A and B are shown apart, each in its own frame.
Chain A
Amino acid sequence: MVTLIVNKQELQVDEGKTLLQVCLDNGIYIPNLCHIHGTDNPSASCRLCFVEIEGEDKPIPSCTVKVKDGIIAKTDTPSVRRLQRTAFKLLMSVHRVDCGHCPANKKCELQRIAKFLKVGLKPKYLELRLKETEVDESHPFLDYYPNRCVLCGKCIAVCKDKHGRAFLTFAKRGLDTVVSSYGETDANLPCSKCFACIRICPVGAITSKDSPRQT
């Protein structure tokens, strides 16, 4: 057991967990998109889960911090919020906001974060840069919506975890980066009995071909 203080509240928790996980477990919400429960090797790519820790000169992503005795952290300082709002706006500048036609509507992590940070879903002052392809329908069981995807990588990680190898991957790079199932057209793919990627996706970027289309 270690003891730490988050937002002036004392927490007694088991060792080995990340600060983000501990906060979430104790009802202290920190925006996050790429965090996977129980992983030892966080990608820390969404840059949303920042906290300030006493003794550190800059905010740090809380998914990369293992809890230790005596940590004193704050999750809601002005510099934390500034970083989170900027990261969020950048994410939304490549996002097709069309919640009414999206399967994630009302359970979407982006909607939750927008509400929490008190910012709109559509970023002001940033140019919207959408990808040309709205839906990639090449997979036998899944459809993929590049303009909804936040590139958190959780679908790829969960696929690899379940099946020993990932049938999804990041492809291309920079603003063109997408999740791709290129070449995986075999009808024997495990997908039709799995759909773990759909469940873990924090937005509505992967859908099953069997579910009623919502576009």
Chain B
Amino acid sequence: MIQENSLEEEKLILDDIASRLKAFGREREELIPILQMIQERHAYIAEDAIKMAAEYLGIAICEVYGVATFYNQFRFHPPGKNHIKVCLGTACHVRGGDIILENFERKLEIRDGETTPDREFSIERVACVGCCALAPVSVVNETVQGHMAPSKVEGLILGFKIEKEKAEREKKKSEPAQ
């Protein structure tokens, strides 16, 4: 089910990219603007999107991949339902932001820039989010979480899981039994 959904979703994304590519020139310096357009509209750059960009500019696929992976701003996985940004700006770094990132990564079994297979969570590392006094900071679904600690990482993720289970139970209840 999830698989079918995401295939359909991907087709829509690719159609959108194809229609927008026409606005760009075919010189190689258009590559980064094209990647930015894709990332901006769809929050990530899919494998087929990389191929499309390569074809459009007439350059090797791996070259597009090389350029895209050089920059932190590009993601290659669709964002999860709950998007976690871990601040590694100077203040947060000094106060152990990397430990918080590692905690999220271990707990969710993904690396920064990745999404869990069930599409529930994704992790991204960001630079200063502007509230250094609360370092180390994470931003979870646009909510700033200050003074992060390993126990808080556990708590946040547990909270989301409980919420999800609750929602599922309620859904079951409202659906008539078969």
Interface residues of A (CB under 8 A from B): 165-173, 180-184
A156 to B62, CA, bound (A): 11
Residue on A with the closest CB to B65? Answer: A182
Residue-by-residue, is B47-69 near A (CB-CB < 8 Å gives 1, otherwise 0)? 10011001000011111111001
Q: How far is the CB of B80 from chain A (nearest CB, A)?
A: 22
**By the criterion CB–CB under 8 Å, are A183 and B51 in contact?**
yes
Q: How far is the CB of A193 from chain B (nearest CB, A)?
A: 18
Q: How far is the CB of B172 from chain A (nearest CB, A)?
A: 40
Residue of B50, B54, B62, B69 contacting most chain A CB atoms (<10 Å): B62
**By the criterion CB–CB under 8 Å, are A181 and B69 in contact?**
no
Interface residues of B (CB under 8 A from A): 47, 50-51, 54, 59-66, 69-70
**By the criterion CB–CB under 8 Å, are A180 and B59 in contact?**
no
**By the criterion CB–CB under 8 Å, are B70 and A180 in contact?**
no
Q: Point out the residues of chain A lying under 8 angstroms from B70, CB to CB.
A: 170-173
A69 to B162, CA, bound (A): 78
**By the criterion CB–CB under 8 Å, are B61 and A171 in contact?**
no
**By the criterion CB–CB under 8 Å, are A180 and B66 in contact?**
yes
Once A166-B60, A169-B60 are accepted as A-B contacts, the answer to whether A183 and B66 lie under 8 Å apart by CB is: no
Question: 27 A-B contacts, Cβ less than 8 Å apart?
Answer: A165-B60, A165-B63, A166-B63, A167-B60, A167-B62, A169-B62, A169-B65, A169-B66, A171-B62, A171-B65, A171-B69, A171-B70, A172-B69, A173-B69, A173-B70, A180-B66, A180-B69, A182-B50, A182-B61, A182-B62, A182-B65, A182-B66, A183-B50, A183-B54, A183-B62, A183-B65, A184-B60
Q: Point out the residues of chain A lying under 8 angstroms from B54, CB to CB.
A: 183
Residue on B with the closest CB to A169? Answer: B66
A182 to B47, CA, bound (A): 10
**By the criterion CB–CB under 8 Å, are B66 and A165 in contact?**
no
Q: How far is the CB of A155 from chain B (nearest CB, A)?
A: 12
Residue on A with the closest CB to B111? Answer: A132
Residue on A with the closest CB to B67? Answer: A169
Q: How far is the CB of B76 from chain A (nearest CB, A)?
A: 10
A169 to B66, CA, bound (A): 6
Q: Point out the residues of chain A lying under 8 angstroms from B51, CB to CB.
A: 183
A168 to B66, CA, bound (A): 9
Residue on A with the closest CB to B66? Answer: A169
Q: Point out the residues of chain A lying under 8 angstroms from B66, CB to CB.
A: 169-171, 180, 182
Residue of A171, A181, A182 contacting most chain B CB atoms (<10 Å): A182
A169 to B65, CA, bound (A): 8
**By the criterion CB–CB under 8 Å, are A184 and B59 in contact?**
no
**By the criterion CB–CB under 8 Å, are B69 and A183 in contact?**
no
Q: How far is the CB of B95 from chain A (nearest CB, A)?
A: 22
Q: Point out the residues of chain B lying under 8 angstroms from A171, CB to CB.
A: 62, 65-66, 69-70
A165 to B62, CA, bound (A): 11
**By the criterion CB–CB under 8 Å, are B62 and A168 in contact?**
yes
A166 to B69, CA, bound (A): 17
A182 to B60, CA, bound (A): 9
